[in-house]
């Protein structure tokens, strides 16, 4: 290769490396990334190296200050920590001090300070080891950030009773709180019509909450399928309407119309609370969880973060004794992964350690000394549904008691409406140590007995489940033959790349043959781009085989063999708005195959809107399909779809004789609409119905900008609404927001400024808002525009004037705010609304005393820079 060409290639590679290094610069305050003093350049060989740094305490800037690097240590002005930490007045370079903080006791030693040019300085090591203050450095902007994880405690005093908060916005008392409508309609060729409509409404009346649901075929008569009135107090709950008995699964569940009640000697709310509206007649949430304390050791002054299945539920600062404790943690019977993430300084850095605390307890268990009583009475079935047969009245009663945190007893009775007999059940739930749980139930129904036993275990790398059920010959009403069934599942992960499974099953019913199997399975991660698995599909020995291949970063291929059908699924994300999917089906026994190709598009990058076009090819011919779906707002969603012969693309049959007739659908058009509305005190807002129920409420509203001539709406699609300082699962579309699934109480509502334009700030820092169960509270959040003025104060020769007060005066002559110039003569004032102002400084000039120097400016819709003030030389 010629030398000039080689030189060009070397230069290009060098330039590319430089650009890559600039693009991969460090994040804004990376962990402990102080400059390496040992790698300082030769020109800084003096003992004391001066550095001009901007200093931050958490998010507050303390300005630009002189700092020093001496040998291998960095030194910072001690006076800043006295002001911003803040340290107690007893801490100085002359005397030591011992003071109590929220994380423990600090013993300040003045020997860690060093006097430089008459000023006390403290080192990085002194901050870390003596004061437990974290130091983060940003090389790109040459700034230092100090994180003070504690605050000083004053003398211990009796804890004051917090004053009762008065809400700025009270929850409304609406007879009608929400409306829900869901409709489906389709038309097919040959002539076939189908229509379905569901309507639901609810609100508050007579000290409780009511809700009704009606549904049915549009061609027939609609049915009032559910109706309830529910009232709740501290220890008791009462419901009138449709319901079902909620005994252990050994007893048959009885639907009825009547009354049901529940009482708990501690608190009834955890027994009935559901974080989502289930649209069912379930009243009690009997999958109650024991409470545990999770504790351990972490970095002093760091952060412990509790997660359930990677969902953050709590955080706390770690005291100086390094011990963290999360009390009263509700741990489900289902094997949720429960972890604590430990951070040295900030949650924005990588965790220094992740500790797994996953364990479980049986469902329906109660805490030590807790008692739950519930019962019901009424007529079987839905008395308002004409097509329902009523067999008489039914009733039930149940009693649960926690003998200890690990042992719960349960007993229940139920009257069966068909035979007028009394069914019964008695059982116990036992937690055996931290990893094993079991339950044993016995029941009798229709004169026959039954037994149910389950055992559940969970460890860091294994999971075991076993259940045995035996029914006597006369047990129940559906069958007169005895039955026994045993199921076992063992999952072990010996290595991070290997997950093994063993599934065992045995059943016998009446005189039928036994069904028994012991089937292995597992998943192997062969590489970062390839995994294969084989798992039992049922107790008969059928398997499901899968292979997942990551071909490219945006392309995945999945091969699956299940139910004698081989499926190839290829998905490719073209960009953020477009993707394609190809599905190929084949049955090796018959040779039938089909191909589907689909293209997905999100117009304008809006993931609430999607267009899909599809083509298919099979032995039945070519099919075409298309659909359009749109989330108009939080509560309004519509789907329009067209299909022509597409249903044959996946209709493959194992036996050649099992082919569809000639009456299958050739062409169909369908439409679906869902519309949820919530009523505040003034108007209807779009909401998500499933996030409102008889134990949960919601907030809704909009953001508006204050203008001189009135209010202007602002789209909140990119803004975050904070509830008690945290961002919850909010839904926001079309300029309104909705936050549901909130327990009754008072909440602090504010706007997160992170995604707002820099000139917009909240008119009020926060508002206290009341939320009631089953209700919607409206919140109107106001924003205002604020700008700023910046410039330099210097003499005619350019000499800056330092630490000089600067005043901002409005047109009425009133001082709006003040500031001061920094060490380079610059000033900056923010928080100014649009209007005319005067920037003013006052200086002594000769014998005439103080002289004012001013410069007028006018703020319209932008920040002003370069508003400099030049004064005579004699004003230095």
Distances in Å between the alpha carbon of 596 and those of 263, 599, 616, 623, 669?
56, 10, 4, 9, 19
CA 196 to chain centre: 34
The helix or strand, by DSSP H or E, that contains position 657, with its residue range, turns out to be none
Does the pLDDT value for residue 283 go beyond 50?
yes
Average pLDDT over residues 2-25: 43
User: What pLDDT does residue 320 have?
Assistant: 58
> Is the pLDDT assigned to residue 564 strictly greater than 90?
no
Cis amide prior to 162 (ω within 30 degrees): no
From residue 628, alpha-carbon distances to 525, 616, 705 in Å are 38, 18, 34
Q: Model pTM?
A: 0.67
Report whether 689 contacts 211 (CB < 8 A).
no
Q: For residue 747, what pLDDT is reported?
A: 94
pLDDT at 691: 84
Strand (E) or helix (H) holding 272: helix 269-272
Q: What is the pLDDT of residues 249-265, one digit of tens each?
A: 778 778 889 999 999 99
Cα(747)–Cα(769) distance, integer angstroms: 5
Give the whole-angstrom CA distance, residue 358 versus residue 199: 42
* Cα–Cα separations (whole angstroms), residue 308 to 337, 340, 364, 365, 742: 6, 9, 20, 20, 19
- Where residue 570 falls among pLDDT bands split at 50, 70, 90? very high
For residue 689, the 8-state DSSP code is: G
The pLDDT tens digits of the residues spanning 471-494 come to 888 787 655 678 888 988 898 999
Does residue 288 surpass a pLDDT of 60? no
pLDDT score of 409 more than 90: yes
What pLDDT was estimated at residue 363?
A: 61
Buried/exposed 689-711: b ≥16 CB within 10 Å, e otherwise: bbbbbbbbbbbbbbbbeeeeeee
pLDDT for residue 163 is more than 80: no
Query: Is the pLDDT at 360 greater than 60, yes or no?
Result: no
Count other Cβ atoms within 10 Å, centred on residue 478.
Answer: 7
Confidence band (pLDDT; 50, 70, 90) for 2?
very low
Given a contact cutoff of 8 angstroms between Cβ atoms, the answer to whether 781 and 762 are in contact is: yes
pLDDT, tens digit, 9 for 90 and up, residues 752-764: 877 777 778 887 7
Per-residue b/e over 164-201, b at no fewer than 16 CB within 10 Å?
eeeeebebbebeebbbbbbbbebebeeeeeeebbbbbb
- Kindly state the tokens that stand for 410: 């349960």
The pLDDT score that the predictor gives to residue 87 is 86
Confidence of residue 385 (pLDDT cuts 50, 70, 90): confident
For the chain, the residue count is 876
Confidence of residue 557 (pLDDT cuts 50, 70, 90): very high
Give the model's pLDDT for residue 9.
44
848 pLDDT band, cuts 50/70/90, is: low
Which pLDDT score is estimated for 173? 85
How many whole angstroms separate alpha carbon 188 and alpha carbon 204? 42
Neighbouring CB atoms inside 10 A of 19's CB total 10
What gap in Å lies between CA 23 and CA 270, rounded to an integer? 51
Contact present, 806 and 852 (Cβ < 8 Å)? no
Extended strands (E) in 772-834:
776-785, 787-795, 805-809, 815-820, 826-832
Q: Do the Cβ atoms of 49 and 40 come closer than 8 Å?
A: yes
For every residue of 368-411, which 3-state class applies, written as one string? Answer: CCCEEEEEEEEEECCCCCCCCCCCCEEEEEEEEEECCCCEEEEE
Contact 400, 364 (CB under 8 A): yes
Q: How many CB atoms lie within 10 A of CB 71?
A: 9
Distances (CA, A) of 197 to 214, 632, 689: 8, 20, 16
For residues 339 and 495, what is the distance between their CA atoms, to the nearest angstrom?
A: 19
606-631 average pLDDT score = 85
Contacts for 795-801: CB closer than 8 Å, 24+ residues apart? 795/870, 795/871, 795/872, 795/873, 795/875, 795/876, 796/870, 796/871, 796/872, 796/873, 797/873, 799/825, 799/873, 799/876, 800/824, 800/825, 800/826, 801/825, 801/841, 801/843, 801/871, 801/875, 801/876
pLDDT at 753: 78
pLDDT at 648: 44
- Binning pLDDT at 50, 70 and 90, where does residue 164 land? confident
Beta carbons of 714 and 735 less than 8 angstroms apart:
yes
Q: Is 603 helix (H, G, I), strand (E, B) or coil?
A: helix
Confidence of residue 27 (pLDDT cuts 50, 70, 90): very low
190 cis-preceded (ω within 30 degrees of 0): yes
Residue % of the chain over a pLDDT of 90: 22
Range with lowest mean pLDDT among 325-334, 344-353, 358-367, 462-471: 325-334
Average pLDDT for 190-196? 79
pLDDT of residue 6: 44
DSSP notation for 493-518: EEETTEEEEEEEEEEEETTSPPEEEE
So what's the pLDDT on residue 348?
55
Whether pLDDT at 512 is above 90 = no
Average pLDDT over residues 719-725: 83
Position 373 scores a pLDDT of: 96
Place of tokens 């026959």: 448
Q: Which residue has the tokens 């000139």?
A: 759
**Do 691 and 698 meet the contact criterion of CB atoms below 8 Å apart?**
yes
pLDDT band, very low/low/confident/very high, at 726 (cuts 50, 70, 90): confident
Quote the pLDDT of residue 780: 86
Phi, psi of 456 (to 5 degrees): -135, 130
Residue 134 has a CB neighbour count (10 Å cut-off) of 19
- DSSP-derived pairing of the beta strands 371-380 and 255-264: antiparallel
Rg over CA atoms, the chain: 35
Q: In this predicted structure, what is the pLDDT of residue 816? A: 92
Predicted pLDDT of residue 520? 92
In this predicted structure, the answer to whether residue 730 has a pLDDT above a threshold of 80 is no
* Per-residue confidence band for 791, with pLDDT thresholds at 50, 70 and 90: very high
The model's confidence at residue 220, banded by pLDDT at 50, 70 and 90, is confident
> Cα separation of 7 and 675, whole Å?
67
Higher pLDDT, 523 or 707: 523
pLDDT for the residue numbered 275: 58
- Vertex 271 angle, CA 268 and 274, to 5°: 120
């Amino acid at each position: 290769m010629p030398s000039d060409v080689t030189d060009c290639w070397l230069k290009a590679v060098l330039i590319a490396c430089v650009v890559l290094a600039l693009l991969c610069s460090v994040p804004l305050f990376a962990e402990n990334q102080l400059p390496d003093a040992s790698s300082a350049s030769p020109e800084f060989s003096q003992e004391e190296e001066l550095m001009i740094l901007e200093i931050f305490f958490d998010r507050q800037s303390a300005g630009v200050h002189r700092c020093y690097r001496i040998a291998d240590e960095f030194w910072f002005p001690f006076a800043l920590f006295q002001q911003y930490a803040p340290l107690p007045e007893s801490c100085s370079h002359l005397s030591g001090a011992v003071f109590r903080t929220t994380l423990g006791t600090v013993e300040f030693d003045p020997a860690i300070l060093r006097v430089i040019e008459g000023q006390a300085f403290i080192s990085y090591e002194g901050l870390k080891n003596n004061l437990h203050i974290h130091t983060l450095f940003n090389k790109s902007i040459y700034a230092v950030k100090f994180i003070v994880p504690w605050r000083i405690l004053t003398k211990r005093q009796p804890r004051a009773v917090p004053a009762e908060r008065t809400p700025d916005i009270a929850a409304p008392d609406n007879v009608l709180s929400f409306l829900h409508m869901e409709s489906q309609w389709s038309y097919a060729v040959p002539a076939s019509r189908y229509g379905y409509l569901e309507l639901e409404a609810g609100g508050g009346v007579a000290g409780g909450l009511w809700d009704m649901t009606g549904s049915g075929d549009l061609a027939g008569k609609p049915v009032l399928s559910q109706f309830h009135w529910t009232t709740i107090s501290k220890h008791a709950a009462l419901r009138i309407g449709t319901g079902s008995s909620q005994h252990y699964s050994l007893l048959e569940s009885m639907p009825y119309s009547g009354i049901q009640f529940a009482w708990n000697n501690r608190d009834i709310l955890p027994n009935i609370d559901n974080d989502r509206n289930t649209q069912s007649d379930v009243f009690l949430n009997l999958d109650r969880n024991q409470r545990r304390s999770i504790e351990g050791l972490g970095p002093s002054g760091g952060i412990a973060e509790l997660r359930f299945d990677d969902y953050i539920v709590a955080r706390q600062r770690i005291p100086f004794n390094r011990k963290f404790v999360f009390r009263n943690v509700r741990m489900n019977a289902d094997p949720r992964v429960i972890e604590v993430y430990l951070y040295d300084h900030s949650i924005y850095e990588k965790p220094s350690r992740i500790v797994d605390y996953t364990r479980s307890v049986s469902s329906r268990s109660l805490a030590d000394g807790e008692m739950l009583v519930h019962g019901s009475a009424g007529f079987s079935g839905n008395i308002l549904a004409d097509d329902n047969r009523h067999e008489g009245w039914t009733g039930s009663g149940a009693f649960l008691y926690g003998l200890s945190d690990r042992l719960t007893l349960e007993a229940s009775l139920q009257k069966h409406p068909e035979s007028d007999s009394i069914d019964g059940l008695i059982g116990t739930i036992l937690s055996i140590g931290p990893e094993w749980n079991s339950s044993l139930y016995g029941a009798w129904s229709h004169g026959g007995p039954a037994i149910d036993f389950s055992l559940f275990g969970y460890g860091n790398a294994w999971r075991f489940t076993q259940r045995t059920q035996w029914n006597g010959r006369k047990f129940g009403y559906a069958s007169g033959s005895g039955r026994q069934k045993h199921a076992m599942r063992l999952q072990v992960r010996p290595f991070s790349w290997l997950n093994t499974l063993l599934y065992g099953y045995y059943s016998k019913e009446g005189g039928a043959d036994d069904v028994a199997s012991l089937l292995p399975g597992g998943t192997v991660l062969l590489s970062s781009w390839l995994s294969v698995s084989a798992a039992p599909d049922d107790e008969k020995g059928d398997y499901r085989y899968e292979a997942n291949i990551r071909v490219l970063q945006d392309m995945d291929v999945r091969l699956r063999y299940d139910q004698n059908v081989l499926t190839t699924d290829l998905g490719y994300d073209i960009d953020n708005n477009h993707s394609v999917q190809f599905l190929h089906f084949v049955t090796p026994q018959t040779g039938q195959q089909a191909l589907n190709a689909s293209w997905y598009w999100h117009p304008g990058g809006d993931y609430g809107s999607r267009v899909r076009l599809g083509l298919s090819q099979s032995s039945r011919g070519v099919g075409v399909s298309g659909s359009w779906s749109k989330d108009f707002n939080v509560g309004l969603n519509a789907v329009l779809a067209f299909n022509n012969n597409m249903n044959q693309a996946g209709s493959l049959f194992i036996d050649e004789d099992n082919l569809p007739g000639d009456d299958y659908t050739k062409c169909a058009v369908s439409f679906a609409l869902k519309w949820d509305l919530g009523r505040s005190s003034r108007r209807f807002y779009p909401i998500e119905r499933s996030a409102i129920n008889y134990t949960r409420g919601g907030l809704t509203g909009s953001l508006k900008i204050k203008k001189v001539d009135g209010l202007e709406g602002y789209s909140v699609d990119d803004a975050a609404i904070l509830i008690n300082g945290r961002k919850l699962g909010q839904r926001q579309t079309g300029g309104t927001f909705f936050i549901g699934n909130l327990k009754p109480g008072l909440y602090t509502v504010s706007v997160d400024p992170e995604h707002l334009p820099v000139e917009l700030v909240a008119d009020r820092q926060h508002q206290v808002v009341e939320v009631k169960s089953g209700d919607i509270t409206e919140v109107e959040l106001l924003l205002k525009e604020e700008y700023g003025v910046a410039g330099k104060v210097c003499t005619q020769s350019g000499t800056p004037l330092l630490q000089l007060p600067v005043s901002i005066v409005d047109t009425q002559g009133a001082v709006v705010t003040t500031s001061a110039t920094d060490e380079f003569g610059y000033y900056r004032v923010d928080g100014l609304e649009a209007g005319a102002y005067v920037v003013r400084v006052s200086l002594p000039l000769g014998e005439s005393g103080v002289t004012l120097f001013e410069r007028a400016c006018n703020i319209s819709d932008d920040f002003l820079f370069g508003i400099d003030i030049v004064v005579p030389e004699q004003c230095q």
